[in-house]
Amino acid sequence: MIKPSRLSRGDTVAIVSLSSGMGGEAMFRHRYEMGKSRLENDFGLNVVTMPHALKGIEYLAKNPQARAADLMAAFEDSQVKAIITMIGGDDSIRLLPYINFDTIKKNPKIFMGYSDTTANHFMMYKAGLTSFYGPSIMAEFAENVAMHNYTKNHIRNILFNPTPELAIEPSLTWTSEFLGWDKEENNKTARTMQDDPKGFELLQGTGVAKGKLLGGCVEVLPMIVGTEIWPQDWNNAILFLEIAEEKTGVEMVKYILRGLAAQGIFDCVSGVLFGKPMGEKNYDEYNKLLRQIIGDECGKPDLPILSNINFGHNAPMCVLPYGVMAEIDCTGKSLRLMEAAVV
């Protein structure tokens, strides 16, 4: 995997909208502005917004080629050091016909987002570029009142000031409270945080598992299976999975996990990470389902599964770099990156 260059204060970052065009709608524009200001003020970055990123929901829905053009232009621009997605959505996969993998490979730079951006991450993975499953502009960067320190520290430790090894610690607090984005006054109200004494939970497995990180949002994976960006080699990967919305439900997640099992993926990977569900909805049911499908149905009761990880659709969140070696320690119920993700 090609690792992009680290970020420094004064570097230029591009904002792209690769799925939903919410950022361009008048009622949500304040969220974009706040996220942009956090990049500038909290991290000292110069921010450019790509030409089509603020053209709104209807335009971007009808023009996936315009979304892809922004992405390709950002990669081609030598002044841009990182690309961060505006928000998720449900159709980033539609960019696939317009992606030039050689352009990505020849112009490696930081790319970050989550949720539907999973499809874009698999595009980066096919190009051989390490990308970052992490915050988006309108959600985490535009967090009400101030960004969570847990999230900010992960951005700094992984993208700005990398170390040869980095422990991913559990967050002591979390929130899934939703305050309507259409009301600008809500920006001044901090969301209610809840304590989380559980830490990371070991569902099964013993010893230490090592592997390169690969995964994303569970609901997005069926759109990728069978396409040119679906990886053919899952050997010794640590598979990370998280649920997008509480409405997805246990039954649908069961079908998707069984699809992964039918491909033999759980026979190949060295471990599994599962993100904290939004609002802890179906928390126990998802943990039971993972043990059932991986431990019982796949006959892999010793495959390490660590759950309640703070990434994806919960706040605060860590940053997980694709293709970077990580380690699950079952005894310590811990997760560690074993190499820097940037150079």
Q: Domain-by-domain residue ranges, the chain? A: 12-164, 167-337
First vs last Cα of the chain: how many Å apart? 12
Given this model, what pLDDT does residue 248 score? 83
Given this model, what pLDDT does residue 24 score? 97
Superfamily of domain 12-164: Murein tetrapeptidase LD-carboxypeptidase, N-terminal domain (3.40.50.10740)
For 223-280, how does the pLDDT look when each residue is reduced to its tens digit (9 = 90+)?
999 999 999 999 999 999 999 976 788 999 999 999 999 999 999 999 999 999 999 9
28-40: average pLDDT = 98
Other beta carbons within 10 Å of 121: 28
Given this model, what pLDDT does residue 201 score? 98
Joined tokens for residue 273:
């990470």
Given this model, what pLDDT does residue 79 score? 98
**Strands (E) located in the chain:** 12-16, 46-49, 80-85, 110-113, 132-133, 166-168, 173-174, 194-195, 201-204, 208-217, 237-242, 271-275, 305-309, 320-321, 325-329, 334-337
143-164 as b/e, with b when 16 or more CB fall inside 10 Å? Answer: bbeebbebbbebbebbbbebee
Residue 247, exposed/middle/buried by CB under 10 A (0-12, 13-18, 19+)? exposed
| pLDDT for 210 beyond 90 | yes
Q: What is the CATH number of domain 167-337?
A: 3.50.30.60
- Give the type of residue at 290: L
For 45-87, how does the pLDDT look when each residue is reduced to its tens digit (9 = 90+)?
999 999 999 999 999 999 999 999 999 999 999 999 999 999 9
Per-residue confidence band for 305, with pLDDT thresholds at 50, 70 and 90: very high
For 114-156, how does the pLDDT look when each residue is reduced to its tens digit (9 = 90+)?
999 999 999 999 999 999 999 999 999 999 999 999 999 999 9
For 163-175, how does the pLDDT look when each residue is reduced to its tens digit (9 = 90+)?
999 999 999 999 9
> Using an 8 Å Cβ cutoff, are 157 and 114 in contact?
no
Closest CA to 49 of 64, 76, 71, 20: 71
